[in-house]
């Protein structure tokens, strides 16, 4: 069992910088939890407090039900993989991986067994005699992970471990870390600012902004039911469209009205929006939920709007249309076979079942 629990955890640097404000979350045994957010949101500080590398200003951190606030990092049974790998340049790969175990006075044959097993899992057996400078970025990354694996810790902590790798290698290592997680059945807390990494690897995502947790949920939940405008805009690429508008009563029920669009609210959402009639809201819709009418299934007048195409960006597998309607500007990710041309008026179909409606003032999601 390896569970990590944060209760009302605060970090205030030098009595004034509130880096983490009242963090509460649980990392369950064998769970892969990603702390996600923009630079400066407090995710690294949170990870370092779990590791014991940073003192907790207020609150409690428990590992396996034991309060660890005052426990030294080396006694917490955790392994930390840093962004820069922190390998010892004068040691071989083998020695780097064995070093922590030697310090802990693990018998030599046991060290040998664990290093070889980790090297086998990570496919770096042929590199054990090399020095770090003789390795590629991806190989160094693997050695850093190997050093953590041999410790067989309760919890693995990763701080942006893929950020120094090129894009292709990052995609590959992402899949490998995911496989490793399943194979080791490890409890992992992983920090990144890359929403794709978070979406692809996490069982659970903790999204932070300005030291405050914005939402905790599965990738599916944070993508489809973001708690507020910040989360909705941070997850997904290209970003969700946000348009100022109102909910109005009209023919057959409620409608979303913005400067350039008038679209029907699906019946299942009407109850939730009943108190928002004629009030200011923000209408959110993802680019992939807007279709070129030529390729839409069963378009209806109530979910279709005429727009003017501003820019066409063909990506090969799909096409991005930047369009204008009244004062609204939005992006649609449409079928690559779309014939839409710049300057042309076209009909777009909106999948309104996927929409989000946010309170204009609180920016919270209402559905």
Positions touching ligand ATP (CB under 6 A) are 13-14, 17, 19, 37, 39-45, 193
Q: Return d(Cα 274, Cα 281) in angstroms, integer.
A: 13
Q: Nearer Cβ to ligand ATP, position 43 or 181?
A: 43
**Which tokens hold the place of 271?**
């109850």
Minimum Å gap between C-beta 11 and ligand ATP is 7
Q: Nearer Cβ to ligand ATP, position 43 or 154?
A: 43
Q: Which residue has the tokens 């930390």?
A: 80
Minimum Å gap between C-beta 157 and ligand ATP is 13
- My answer on whether omega of the bond before 276 falls inside 30° of 0, hence cis, is no
CA angle 184, 186, 190 (to 5 degrees): 125
Minimum Å gap between C-beta 18 and ligand ATP is 8
- Cβ neighbors of 262 (< 8 A, separation 6 or more) are 250, 255, 256, 305
What distance, in Å, lies between the first and last C-alpha atoms of the chain? 37
Nearest C-alpha neighbor of 247 from the set 218, 217, 270:
270
Q: Nearer Cβ to ligand ATP, position 39 or 65?
A: 39
Minimum Å gap between C-beta 344 and ligand ATP is 42
Q: Nearer Cβ to ligand ATP, position 19 or 143?
A: 19
Minimum Å gap between C-beta 15 and ligand ATP is 10
Minimum Å gap between C-beta 53 and ligand ATP is 11
| Cβ atoms 182, 199 nearer than 8 A | no
Minimum Å gap between C-beta 17 and ligand ATP is 4
Minimum Å gap between C-beta 67 and ligand ATP is 22
Q: What is the DSSP letter of 303?
A: G
Position of minimal CB gap to ligand ATP: 44
Q: Nearer Cβ to ligand ATP, position 57 or 354?
A: 57
| Cβ atoms 146, 85 nearer than 8 A | no
Burial pattern 122-147, b for ≥16 Cβ within 10 A else e, equals bebeebbeebbeebeebbbbbbbbbb
- The CA–CA distances, whole Å, from 20 to 41, 70, 103, 155, 233 equal 8, 18, 33, 21, 21
Q: Which residue has the tokens 């200003």?
A: 57
Q: Nearer Cβ to ligand ATP, position 11 or 114?
A: 11
Q: Nearer Cβ to ligand ATP, position 45 or 139?
A: 45
Q: Return d(Cα 335, Cα 291) in angstroms, integer.
A: 8
Q: Nearer Cβ to ligand ATP, position 46 or 303?
A: 46
Minimum Å gap between C-beta 44 and ligand ATP is 3
SS3 call for 139:
helix
Q: Nearer Cβ to ligand ATP, position 197 or 292?
A: 197
């Amino acid at each position: 069992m390896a569970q990590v629990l944060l209760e009302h955890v605060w970090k205030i640097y030098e009595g004034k910088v509130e880096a983490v404000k009242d963090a509460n979350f649980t990392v369950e045994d064998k769970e892969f939890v990603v702390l996600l957010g923009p630079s400066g949101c407090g995710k690294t500080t949170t990870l370092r407090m779990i590791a014991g590398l940073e003192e907790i200003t207020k609150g409690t951190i428990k590992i396996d039900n034991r309060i660890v606030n005052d426990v030294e990092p080396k006694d917490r049974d955790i392994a930390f993989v840093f962004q820069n790998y922190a390998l010892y340049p004068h040691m071989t790969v083998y020695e780097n991986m064995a070093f922590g175990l030697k310090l802990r006075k693990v018998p030599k044959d046991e060290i040998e067994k664990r290093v070889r097993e980790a090297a086998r899992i990570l496919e770096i057996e042929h590199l054990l005699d090399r020095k770090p400078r003789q390795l590629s970025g991806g190989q160094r990354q693997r050695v850093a992970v190997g050093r953590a694996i041999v410790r067989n810790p309760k919890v693995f902590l990763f701080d942006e471990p893929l950020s120094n790798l090129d894009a292709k290698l990052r995609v590959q290592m992402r899949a490998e870390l995911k496989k490793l997680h399943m194979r080791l059945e490890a409890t992992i807390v992983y920090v990144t600012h890359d929403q794709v990494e978070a979406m692809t690897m996490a069982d659970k995502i903790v999204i932070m902004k300005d030291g405050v947790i914005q939402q905790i949920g599965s990738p599916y939940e944070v993508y489809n039911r973001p708690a507020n405008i910040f989360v909705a805009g941070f997850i997904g690429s290209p970003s969700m469209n946000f348009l100022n508008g109102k909910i109005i009563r009209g023919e057959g029920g409620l409608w979303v009205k913005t400067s350039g669009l008038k679209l029907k609210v699906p019946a299942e959402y009407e109850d939730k929006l009943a108190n928002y009639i004629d009030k200011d809201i923000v209408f959110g819709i993802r680019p992939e939920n807007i279709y070129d009418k030529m390729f839409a299934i069963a378009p209806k007048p109530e979910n279709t709007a005429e727009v003017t195409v501003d820019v066409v960006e063909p990506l090969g597998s799909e096409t991005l249309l930047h369009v204008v309607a009244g004062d609204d500007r939005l992006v649609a990710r449409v079928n690559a076979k779309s014939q839409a041309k710049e300057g042309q008026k076209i009909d777009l179909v909106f999948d309104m079942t996927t929409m989000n409606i946010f309170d204009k003032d609180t920016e919270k999601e209402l559905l």
